[in-house]
Amino acid sequence: MSLISPSPTTKLYFLTFIPNYTKPRNNGPSPSETSNISTPQNLISSYPNPPPASSLTDLVTHYNNCLSSSLTTLAPLKTRSVSFTHTAPWFTPHLRQLKATGRRLEQLYNKTQLTVHQQMYSDHLHHYKNALTTAKTSYYSNLINTGTGNSRVLFSTVSHLLQPPKTLPPDISTTQCTAFLDFFSSKINTIHQQLASSRTPSDDPPWMITSGQPLISSLSDFTPVAEQTVSELIRKAKTTTCQLDPLPTSLVKACIPSISPMITNIINSSLTTGTVPPTLKLAAITPILKKPGADPTDLDHYRPISNLPFISKTLERVVAAQLQSHLDTNNLNEPFQSGFRPKHSTETALVKITNDLHRAADSGLLTILILLDLRAAFDTISHPLLLDRLTGIGITGAALSWFTSYLTGRQQFVQLSNHKSGCSGVSLGVPQGSVLGPLLFTTYLLPLGTLLRHHGVHFHCYADDTQVYISTKPTAAIPPTSLITCLEEIRSWLSRNFLKLNGNKTEALLIGSKSTLTKSQHTPAPLIIIYGFPVPFSSKVKSLGVILDNTLSFSPHIHNITRTAFFHLRNIARLRPSLTQSSTEILVHSFVTSRIDYCNALLTGLPTKLINRLQIIQNSAARIITRTKSSDHITPVLIQLHWLPVHYRIQYKTLLL
């Protein structure tokens, strides 16, 4: 186990804030001093109010200055140079003192060789060992408990404890930040130029127009929100903080009564004027590795995630709620789009798809499943086309002006550690990491569903992951002519809308019963061509985190779960001596149980032999938590933990759906 320790010389930035508390002196504060102690609410309230006729930009500036001034007054930033020895983070001063005492007792025993000194030394060693175990348990358990409910934080913590990962290039500098920014910008511009050069300027056919039925209502003006609504949005928001925020989000949530009036004023001013101030359109880009273990020196392995100010995301939540209400009222949502919609998930999407595939196989048909992959889909969206799409669904007036202002004049920069690049304009795409981005993207893709239905092809989408499938008789041509025509029109429509289909990452799977696949005389061959890339039929594909095979046996998927789950169980077992039972259970639920339960409704009706593989995982996890011997019966342990066995968990999920 590799332990993390600070470098020998580290600069620490102390930020201590306790409402209604001031550290007393030795003699205690005088009554006059006590009366001057200010709460954050008092400090914010004492800041001068903006003039009544202030512009929206002035309101945002006042908000930032007010919170920055309050933070500086309450907790001024201080820098200290501190030297550390290379000790484990859980090695406290008390343990260091016990260790020194043990050395003195050892020296005393070596000098006198008396039995009494040997006993003193032995007793102290036992006490020191127990203190070490207690300190390690307390430290690791605290780390895990603080990350409860956030699997990403827990995974990062455990990985950091076992083996510190390299997630960023080693040579972090301002030049490296600029290189990231230039790479992200040039990548999108290159894709856009390629699509523009190959784009055929043609209008969509009449049957693709989304306004086939009259709108019940239009959205011309956003409705101002009440302060209570804004306060509730702030309470429910995550406590993540962007470097552009003047005050940490945790403190904003602690000071809701004083801050919510200012935020409400800014939001309502933005909604009524139909504008978004430039300060709220500046994004800090954080490069994130697309896959764990990827080469951190290759910039193409990173995905740009936009970090926006907290007040900007609060404003987007208000707009997203009203836009979603408009879509629901006019029944404009794509029925087969499961991404970013209430009561929809990857599991509901896969249940629908696999149900159709099973029905086709039971009817003696072969089904061709194609998983379309879009390259940088969120980043290549054309703003004029997106605004036209919003106009087509009844967004007009001040509401349309707001979206126009939201999309234009955006800027971004890359920041790594203490290094920062310059700002660069953003003229394409919707920001990843924003609240409105996913909803605008699914709105942008609305005509795609009309195109697929026109060709009689089944499909299901989850954000930019589109799965197209069509069933045919084993004696018919594979792939059918209708599918080839549909794929060509999909490619043409995507090109006209500045979306690029990634041919070398698109996958195809031929699905049917064993007898149907055996009878079929067709051999897997690269018969489908997309952007010049042949798409052969694979023996298995990964769809939304689930591995599908030719007969939908899910054996490869269960094998993958088993391999991944036991990897995490081995890591948890290494940490188990330093964890409490509750902390261990948190890790097991985050890393193991979540994988057993993910999309387990698809496993309904599988042979007991396959389900037992998952049951072995659950049994092993229960033994690690409770430290039960492998020879002991597992049923009482599962009852003690209140865990349903795997096959009952599958039935429970199916009943929930």
Q: Is 329 in contact with 335 (CB distance < 8 Å)?
A: no
Residues 6+ apart with CB under 8 A from 27: none
- Token readout for 363 is 């009817």
* Per-residue pLDDT at 47: 59
327/344 Cα distance (integer angstroms): 16
SS3 586: helix
Coil vs helix vs strand at 113: coil
pLDDT tens digit sequence for 601-655: 999 999 999 999 999 999 999 999 999 998 899 999 999 999 999 999 999 999 9
Task: Determine the 3-state secondary structure of 170 from DSSP.
Answer: coil
The pLDDT of residue 94 is 87
Please give the average pLDDT of every successive group of 10 residues along the chain, which has 657 residues.
37 38 38 43 60 79 86 78 68 87 90 88 90 82 72 69 56 82 88 77 59 75 94 89 87 88 93 93 87 78 86 94 92 90 91 94 91 87 92 92 94 86 89 87 90 90 91 79 86 87 85 83 61 80 93 95 94 86 88 93 94 96 93 92 95 92
Q: What share of the chain is helix, strand, coil (3-state, %, to 5)?
A: 55, 15, 35
* Dist CA 16 CA 23 (whole Å): 11
**Whole-angstrom distance, CA of residue 555 vs CA of residue 65:** 59
User: Could you tell me the CA-to-CA distances from 195 to 199, 495, 529 in Å, in that order?
Assistant: 6, 6, 18
Structure tokens at 643: 């865990």
pLDDT of residue 55: 85
pLDDT, tens digit (0-9, with 9 covering 90-100), for 231-252:
999 999 888 888 888 888 888 8
Q: What pLDDT does residue 148 have?
A: 67
For 364: left if phi > 0, alpha if psi spans -120 to 50, otherwise beta; the answer is: left
Count other Cβ atoms within 10 Å, centred on residue 113. 9
Rounded to 10 deg, the angle between the 310-329 and 436-444 helix axes is: 40
pLDDT of residue 41: 54
Under 8 Å CB-to-CB from 508, ≥6 apart: which residues? 368, 369, 370, 371, 528, 535, 536, 537, 538, 541
152-179 per-position pLDDT tens digit: 667 766 766 666 545 555 567 788 888 8
Rg (CA), the chain: 30
Measured distance CA(270)–CA(263) in Å, rounded: 11
What residue spans of 76-204 are helical by DSSP H?
93-112, 115-146, 151-162, 174-198
What pLDDT sits at residue 51?
A: 66
Q: Contact at 8 Å (CB) between 441 and 381?
A: yes
pLDDT for res 160: 65
C-alpha dihedral over 329, 335, 338, 340, to 10 degrees?
-20
pTM of the complete model beyond 0.85: no
What whole-number distance in Å separates Cα of residue 392 and Cα of residue 210? 7
